[in-house]
Amino acid sequence: MRNNLEKWTTQKSSELYGVENWSSGYFHINEQGELAISPFEDKKNAVSIPEIISGLKARGLELPVLLRIENLLDGQLAKLHASFASAIKELQYKGEYRGVFPIKVNQQQQVIKEMAAAGAPLKHGFEVGSKAELVIALSYLKNKEACLICNGYKDTDYIDLALYACKMGYNCILVLEMPSEVNLILERSQKLAIRPRLGIRIKVSTHGGGHWAESAGDLSIFGLSTSDVIDALDMLKQTEMLDCMQLVHFHLGSQLPNIRDIRTAVKEAARMYIELYKEGCQMGYLDLGGGLAVDYDGSHSNFPSSRNYGLDEYCLDTVEAIMYTLDQENIPHPHIITESGRATVAYSSILLFNVIDVSRLEDRQIPEKLSEDEPESIHNLLEVYLSLTLKNLQECYNDAIFYRDEVRQLFRLGKCTLRQRSTSERIFWAIIKKIAEMTKELKTLPSALKDIHLPLASIYYCNISIFQSLPDSWAIDHLFPIVPLHRLQEEPTERVILADITCDSDGKINNFIDTHGVKRVLEAHPIEEGKAYYMGAFLVGAYQETLGDLHNLFGDTNIVSVRINTDGTFDVVHEQQGDSVADILSYVEYDPRYVFEQFRNAAEASIREGKTTPQERFQIMQAYDRILQGYTYLNE
Ligand code: PLP
């Protein structure tokens, strides 16, 4: 048992949840034990997240809420540019850094608008991978010097619009992704009499590791093989358009955990750049794609949810690798483009949610004595419970499972009653709890008892749909830092897994960040009767918002953007009501008015049948309409 005099502190919570490791300085626990956002160096003027929640509630916005903090997007963009600027200065590199934001990482209008505004003075452009994304980029991009990189498969309409963009003076570069695109682009360019700026996506042979390792290598679905590159160059030569080719692009994969892989791939791409230069292309840009990782678990390791490098190291290493390779051949330094997506937007969104219920193994009384007619296996279970000592933990654990299973078998054969089975389960769980408690005194834990705490974890039911709001957690077990937002000056004595409110067995989170691997349970505080308990999933600004579906017909959550002021206050700069039930029904092709009418007919019929009164019909229809017009998530 922990010494009671040893007081729990906010510092201990900070260590437990690894806040300093993953927050990049943007979040901390304040003296009141609340998670606070600190976009500025001066932590004094931070804003507490529970305070933001009260502010939103006062404005009638209920949880769950996807909170976007615009300052953090600006902050990350500024950091990225500052790191590249400092690497370029330190190494005396002759080119510039020209970042682009890949729209697919978060296409939401508020994010793109903020990215365009914060990016304009930095010449930060957009990367697009489809016609729809090109349409967005062209209407939001403010600085025409910023790059507009056109990736993805292209048809005539896509190519035509990109060519018009070139004509209008946008720094728009069409990247050849497929051998067949070369002919089509040349044809359209001749037809419209617009000379394109071209890039070429190469398949690098390096593998990136992590979840998205398949994005590179010979079998990657995008990019040109070396023979395709030669064919494309010959074709450009024949049509006297070799000078249009200006850029080499590669994408090793997203969330690259290992800096060595990045360096190797950058060198390979730089070699390709040299070759294109020597072939006569008027090269000017080397595009390193995405991949700059986010340290979601704060372990600073090459674990898939982490990275073994910092931002400064990434910038220094990539600039140095390019410079080193090109200087050997005396080739002028290109502008460096990165298509960093998650590293620019992950920090700026937090999913805020409340816990609505708890299910835990209850502490039920076990009988001191059993009657003679109870089955022998139950007697044996009680015997196991009474004989438990530190020395026989493993043996008792094995026996408990054996006798518990025996009772289950007897039940199946009709030789044991429901009450007897319930007695056996109570004794069994009492044994497991006692063993789990006693293991704390062991120096080394037998491997069979390693996960003994797991079945004892409580389930915290959270007012979210994981499929809708954290699709990567659902689909690829991606880890996000999940932390209680308040009561962090108290010791979190519960061990929990999280379940959502969809009736889906996959709607749960039972993997949590840990600096030494993955934790199967999360420490949380016991829920207090009648009081709200808030949690947050952090670093969810990249990829999570658009992938989710209408699972169980839980729709979009409320979305609120705030800007934090230097005096520690905050302004709500944009809010978007989440979907109502009527909205969701219309997405899946119902007509909410028809649905309402149908039910009204049924309510009228029940008056005719004498089951309800007209007044009751009024109340029933009000209740129906309240749900139809209301939020899809649970009301607090
Ligand atoms: N560029 C391309 C071509 C991509 O496919 C991706 C995502 O996979 C990105 C950029 C963004 O990658 P990240 O978010 O890891 O920076």
Ligand 1 atom closest to the CA of 212, numbered from 1: 8
User: Ligand 1 center to residue 567 CA distance, Å?
Assistant: 36
Q: What is the pLDDT of residues 565-590, one digit of tens each?
A: 988 899 999 999 999 988 988 887 78
Q: At CA 283, angle to CA 279 and CA 287, rounded to 5?
A: 120
Q: What is the pLDDT of the chain when averaged over all its residues? A: 91
Ligand 1 atom closest to the CA of 151, numbered from 1: 3
Residue 445's Cβ-count burial label (10 Å; 0-12, 13-18, 19+) is middle
Nearest CA to ligand 1 atom 7: 254
Residue 391, pLDDT > 70, answer yes
User: Ligand 1 center to residue 215 CA distance, Å?
Assistant: 9
Nearest CA to ligand 1 atom 9: 290
Per-residue b or e along 571-600, where b marks 16 or more CB atoms closer than 10 Å to that residue's CB: eeebbbebbbbbbbbeeeeeebeebeeeee
Give the whole-number percent of the chain exceeding pLDDT 90: 73
User: Ligand 1 center to residue 541 CA distance, Å?
Assistant: 14
Q: Which of 76, 77, 105, 345 has most ligand 1 atoms within 8 Å of its beta carbon, as the pocket-test mutant?
A: 105
Residue 128, pLDDT > 80, answer yes
Q: Letter for the amino acid at 24?
A: S
Contact residues of ligand 1, CB 6 A cut-off: 102, 105, 127, 151, 251, 254-255, 289-292, 339-343, 542
| pLDDT bracket for residue 47 (50, 70, 90) | very high
Distance of CA 264 to the CA centre of its chain: 27
User: Ligand 1 center to residue 201 CA distance, Å?
Assistant: 13
Nearest CA to ligand 1 atom 6: 290
Nearest CA to ligand 1 atom 12: 290
User: Ligand 1 center to residue 374 CA distance, Å?
Assistant: 64
Q: What is the pLDDT of residues 427-452, one digit of tens each?
A: 999 999 999 889 988 888 888 888 88
CA nearest neighbour of 197 among 166, 224, 234: 166
More confident site: 534 or 443:
534
User: Ligand 1 center to residue 255 CA distance, Å?
Assistant: 9
* 3-state SS, residue 76: helix
User: Ligand 1 center to residue 341 CA distance, Å?
Assistant: 6
Sign of CA dihedral 276, 277, 281, 285: positive
Residue 221, pLDDT > 70, answer no
Q: Which of 254, 311, 315, 539 has most ligand 1 atoms within 8 Å of its beta carbon, as the pocket-test mutant?
A: 254
| pLDDT bracket for residue 1 (50, 70, 90) | very low
Q: What is the pLDDT of residues 398-425, one digit of tens each?
A: 999 999 999 999 999 999 999 999 999 9
Q: Which residues contact 132 (CB under 8 A, 6 or more apart)?
A: none
Residue 2, pLDDT > 50, answer no
| pLDDT bracket for residue 476 (50, 70, 90) | confident
Nearest CA to ligand 1 atom 4: 290
Q: What is the pLDDT of residues 479-513, one digit of tens each?
A: 999 999 999 999 999 999 999 998 777 789 999 99
User: How many CB atoms are closer than 10 A to CB 407?
Assistant: 25
User: Ligand 1 center to residue 72 CA distance, Å?
Assistant: 20
Q: Which of 73, 101, 103, 104 has most ligand 1 atoms within 8 Å of its beta carbon, as the pocket-test mutant?
A: 104
pLDDT of residue 454: 83
* 3-state SS, residue 453: coil
pLDDT, average across residues 19-40 = 95
Ligand 1 atom closest to the CA of 222, numbered from 1: 3
User: Ligand 1 center to residue 466 CA distance, Å?
Assistant: 23
Tokens of 403: 């006798």
Q: At CA 534, angle to CA 112 and CA 13, rounded to 5?
A: 100
280 Rama sector, left if φ>0, alpha if ψ -120 to 50, beta otherwise:
left
Residue 304, pLDDT > 80, answer yes
Instruction: Quote the crossing angle between the two packed helices 181-192 and 226-238, to the nearest 10°.
Output: 20
Q: Which of 126, 220, 251 has most ligand 1 atoms within 8 Å of its beta carbon, as the pocket-test mutant?
A: 251
Report the C-alpha gap between 536 and 529 in whole angstroms. 20
pLDDT of residue 306: 94
pLDDT, average across residues 375-383 = 96
CA nearest neighbour of 16 among 517, 493, 514: 514
User: Ligand 1 center to residue 339 CA distance, Å?
Assistant: 6
Report the C-alpha gap between 435 and 429 in whole angstroms. 10
Alpha-carbon separation of residue 102 from 162, 163, 173, 347 (angstroms): 16, 20, 14, 16
Alpha-carbon separation of residue 412 from 95, 191, 415, 496 (angstroms): 76, 78, 8, 31
User: Ligand 1 center to residue 291 CA distance, Å?
Assistant: 6
Distance of CA 292 to the CA centre of its chain: 15
Long-range contacts of 325-334, Cβ-Cβ distance < 8 Å, separation of 24 or more: 325/267, 325/270, 325/271, 325/274, 326/270, 326/273, 326/274, 329/274, 331/273, 331/274, 331/277, 332/94, 332/95, 333/93, 333/94, 333/95, 334/95, 334/273, 334/283, 334/284, 334/285, 334/286
User: Ligand 1 center to residue 307 CA distance, Å?
Assistant: 16
Nearest CA to ligand 1 atom 11: 290
